Structure 1
């Protein structure tokens, strides 16, 4: 799978990355459930933030949640949260399976990293259970370093970080 190819020219003009709206909830829940069913989400992940996006991601101006809309439907999502003053966490990066060979994940991640820079975070972290060179290539292109891989519940969890010092 390649995450480097852009959407086709006829769909690219219809691609919009925008802030979450309450009417996006069914699509966001579906993307979360699809990740859960494909084994990309830990079994003990309650998804409480996905069920309460407004409370989880709009409680502070440094937190945010975006969706990617294509042809009028939500096809991707990403969030930024933080439990620490200087470190942000990119959460819930998901793209519909039929569009995972496009650059939608990269566009969502670039949006989130730009938000982190704008709001003065010094470090960004993320983790993923997704396997494959395409994921490592995507995060590497954005400047992330692979920190470690640990096994939880018999699945590998890959942790990445991005230093924003001086940016």
Structure 2
């Protein structure tokens, strides 16, 4: 739960990707999702491969990362990655536990949606799992609709991967 002393105004959100950022976010995904949901190392390697793909194909007109910092520490992250057919993919959304509940997730989704529209995308999608219900609620509030659900063991445990789509 959020620390009562931390407010949204204390968080700095930047778009510039600096050396160490992507590796740190990969590490935190592995640690946070491992601790909170029991995901295995395969999840961390999945995030690593996706981050590599994002950076390899990075186009500042089409792609964007939002890196959240508090006291010079990364405490949250989300990215928008361009895909075929004028679509965008939302990926690697995470917040450290003590920064949840202060409106940061909502703020990041608003920034994502603003860039999505400004860049002229016609649609967006994301993949998540059935365990991330708070995130799914946030996605639905922004117009994303569950379009696919499938059983999986990709992250070292049995779960349901879910795809959400948004048409602009």
Corresponding residue for residue 157 of structure 1: 161
Q: Is the 8 A contact 1:69 1:76 kept in 2?
A: yes
Corresponding residue for residue 73 of structure 2: 73
Corresponding residue for residue 27 of structure 2: 30
Please show how residues 117-156 of structure 1 align to structure 2 within 5 Å.
117-129=117-129, 131-153=131-153, 154-156=158-160
Q: Deviations over 1:92-151 (max 9, x none)?
A: 111112323332222222212211111111001011125254223211211111222211
Query: Unpaired runs of 5+ in structure 2?
Result: none
2:96 counterpart of 1:96: yes
Change (3 A) 1:156 1:24: same
Corresponding residue for residue 56 of structure 2: 55
Shift of 1:90: 0.5
Query: Unpaired runs of 5+ in structure 1?
Result: none
Q: Is the 8 A contact 1:150 1:158 kept in 2?
A: yes
Q: Which moved more, 1:29-38 or 1:104-113?
A: 29-38
Q: Which moved more, 1:121-130 or 1:132-141?
A: 132-141
Query: Normalised by the size of structure 2, how large is the TM-score?
Result: 0.78
Cα-Cα RMSD = 2.8
Q: Is the 8 A contact 1:88 1:124 kept in 2?
A: yes
**How many positions carry a matched residue from both structures?**
159
